[in-house]
Amino acid sequence: MGGRGTFASGVNVKYTYMTVSFIEGVKVLAGLEGKHGLPEEAHSSTAYIKLKPDGTFHEMRIYDKDHYLICELAYHKEPNLRKDGKPVL
């Protein structure tokens, strides 16, 4: 998968994700060469999942029939919402 779009300004974009597994038929993506967020638009799936390095849930994005993001579920720290450092769903 390309980085937030596979074809930019007529140039192929280097892959920034790879599928590492599936959970209930949903692709689990891992970033290549450092950190990553999930794609803003889907390329071939209706949803993608990102796990934390320890294998626990971090984020899931769900896309509509036109591959645009419609829902995001995340479980991570949000300092503006919780000052105690605990994750927020």
Domain ranges of the chain: 19-88
Model pLDDT for residues 19-67, shown as the tens digit of each residue: 999 999 999 999 887 777 888 888 788 999 999 889 999 999 999 999 9
Give 60-64's long-range contacts (Cβ < 8 A, gap of 24+): 60/26
As a whole number of angstroms, the distance between CA 34 and CA 89 comes to 24
pLDDT at 15 over 80: no
Instruction: Identify the CA nearest to 38 among candidates 74, 86, 65, 10.
Output: 74
Range 4-10 average pLDDT? 54
- 39, 25 in Cβ contact below 8 A? no
pLDDT at 13 over 70: no
As a whole number of angstroms, the distance between CA 62 and CA 38 comes to 10
